[in-house]
A and B are shown apart, each in its own frame.
Chain A
Amino acid sequence: MTNETQTTPVVMRESKNKIRVEFERTALKERLKEKFLSTYFLKNTVWYIFRLFLLIGIAFVVIQPFITMIIQSIKDPVDYRDSTVVNVPRNVSLLIYKAIFTDGAYLKFFFKSLGLSLGVAVLQTLSCCLVGYGLAKFKFRGAKLIFFFVILTLVVPHGTLQAAIYYYFSKLNLLNSIVPLLLLSATALAFKNGLYIFLLRQFFRGVPDELEESAYLDGANTFRTFVQVILPISVPMMITVFLFSFCWQWTDDFYLNLFFISTPKPEFMAFITQKELTSLVVTATQAGVAFETAERYAFGLMACIPLIILFLFCQKYLVQGIERSGIVG
């Protein structure tokens, strides 16, 4: 008995790279009904909408100060004297931002901070990766003690040790330079480095031993295994540590104020708020106290924007699914 289910596809047109075939399909209406009226699709849509509203709601709470900062800093000076204009600017002007670029020498601050933050962040990432890996995968006497010291450096805030840190580096005659910061970063003692070491240690402990053992079998020594096998799969973690240390160094005023004691302060991003916008002094006196705050808001935004751009750029590397290939069965 022949089973006449479907007619075989009929080839209509054939060329080198394409084939056009005509075959039997279920009707369009049925297909659409099947796709869009199924429970799977409806459940997913409800979840997507719910998720979107939830995220927008929470994001609003986070972003509200920034919206205020943006709105208050793009108001035209006329609006500051007008007390009816509070949250919606009637006239928009970017003159504070223009002044930041010209009077405030924003670019000089930018590049200097960029150099320092990059150096510090790279040093911290590398040293914390090394220390984290050593604590995670090697059993040696004193490993627990060293880990305790790492947590100790995290618990004791540097604010409390301020005077002692200052005294130590002034004895070594290293004040007014970036050397103390670089030194602290290279030895994994800088701001919140204990967290990075702890984080990387936990992450490396979660990496299965088989990966390294297969590398050892192939004759690699421990350092080579570390660089060629372990580091590539820990890219998301390293990017996270790099982002944290870069951002915290970029907006840092505590260490810069501690180590750079002579005035004038060098051009790092934390000191940009002390810059006088000379071209706006007249406008400032006319517009009142609120204008000063608007200037500070503008400074703050100009400092944050490079960080956000950096984060968006690093998104590319925070991609799921860097395969842990090499382990079978």
Chain B
Amino acid sequence: MTQTVKKQAVAPVKKKKIASLDRRKARAGWFFVLPFVVGFALIYLPIIFTSFKVSFMTMEQGTRTEMFVGWKNYSDALTGSADFLQTLLVGLKEIAFDIPAILLFSLFVAVILNQKMVGRAVFRAIFFLPVVVSTGMMEGILSTSYSFSGEGLDLGAGESAAETVKTNLALEKLLQDIFANLGFGEGLVEYIVSAVESISDIVNRSGVQILIFLAALQSISPAIYESCEIDGATSWETFWKITFPMVSPMILVNGVYTIIDNFTTDSNSVMEVINSTYGSSGGKYVSAAMGWMYFLVVLLIVGLVALIFSAYVFYQRRD
């Protein structure tokens, strides 16, 4: 006997929507970058916007009101008296030589400072000094000083610490004095002095990079080196097969940082032009326009270099 069973309305089971693992991880990612996003939106964007707005304005003659002039400041910057484009090209040529030199030198020094030796802590502290000296108050102390080689008051105003370290504290003069008394020829002395000066320049600009490489080298566990040694690898092979790949993410960081640092320190010729234009009367608008164009160019260069480097960087990730 069949009985028709009335189909009871089944209450629809509410399916709880659990986000997929990917989506949960994405949310966690937003949580981690939250401080920067909040700060960027609330603090940095208004500041950039103000500065950007300034580059489109100028002050009217006579009155002190500012008026909108469109792209006039930008065209003035490109065609004006300060040879903006010229200095930019010169700056580009400089970095082509400096970047590899600084990167190789700082990697070399970091590898040496990573080895166990007598007085390692002292040497590390010495190579840490350029970081301390390069910014802030030390620049001021080292740049307006009496030159103690007996030449009188030497106000090196406007020079950066790296340059004044060379000139005012008379390394060049010291070397020349030493070698002159030893009776070397003029040409040889000049060559040695210029070589030492370029070494001094590179060393004083690699403080940050050396420390970054040093920290990266420390995170390589010694077990890897031991197993290499057991397998009979020479130290040259170990360096190229183990150390260099594991440090290569930092090569990208240091490369990008060196370029940015080179282009945006106050002693860079383009930055000097920007700063001096800022100081001149009514110049702060053109200076802002110059600045924004310049930073765009720097961003492009950095992006290009980063793309080239990233092709060679090794990450220990499965993807």
Contacts and interface: CB of A to CB of B under 8 A. Distances in A.
B39 interface: yes
Nearest to B22: A139
A183 to B, nearest CB: 7
B222 interface: yes
10 closest A-B pairs (Cβ-Cβ)?
Answer: A187-B39, A138-B29, A134-B32, A251-B136, A140-B26, A202-B249, A134-B33, A293-B146, A300-B141, A164-B50
Given A64-B171, A292-B146, A323-B221, 20 more contacts: A58-B127, A58-B203, A131-B36, A164-B51, A183-B43, A184-B39, A189-B44, A203-B249, A205-B249, A205-B317, A206-B315, A206-B316, A208-B316, A237-B219, A243-B128, A244-B131, A244-B211, A254-B135, A304-B133, A321-B223
Interface bracket on B: 35 or more
Interface in B25-79: 25-40, 43-44, 46-48, 50-51, 54
B193 to A, nearest CB: 12
B136 A254 contact: yes
A155 B136 contact: no
Interface in B259-283: 260, 264, 266, 271, 274-275
A292 B148 CA distance: 12
B82 interface: no
User: Chain B at the A interface: mostly helix, strand, loop or mixed?
Assistant: helix
A205 B51 contact: no
Nearest to A55: B123
A48 interface: yes
B88 interface: no
A93 to B, nearest CB: 17
Given A138-B26, A209-B317, A312-B125, A188 B165 contact: no
A58 B112 CA distance: 12
A311 B132 CA distance: 11
Interface of B: 22, 25-40, 43-44, 46-48, 50-51, 54, 109, 112, 114-115, 117, 121, 123-133, 135-138, 140-142, 145-146, 148-150, 153, 165, 169-171, 174, 196, 199-200, 203-204, 208, 211-212, 214-223, 246, 249-250, 252-253, 256-257, 260, 264, 266, 271, 274-275, 284, 288, 291, 295, 298-299, 302, 315-318
Nearest to B45: A149
Contacts of B124: 311, 315, 318
Interface of A: 48, 51-52, 54-55, 58-59, 61-66, 68, 72, 83, 86-87, 127, 130-131, 133-135, 137-141, 143, 146, 149-157, 159-161, 163-165, 167-168, 183-184, 186-189, 195, 197-199, 202-203, 205-209, 221-223, 226, 233-234, 236-237, 239-240, 243-244, 247-248, 250-254, 269-270, 273, 289-290, 292-293, 296-297, 299-300, 303-304, 307-308, 311-312, 315, 318-324
A152 B91 CA distance: 20
A236 B264 contact: no
B36 A290 contact: no
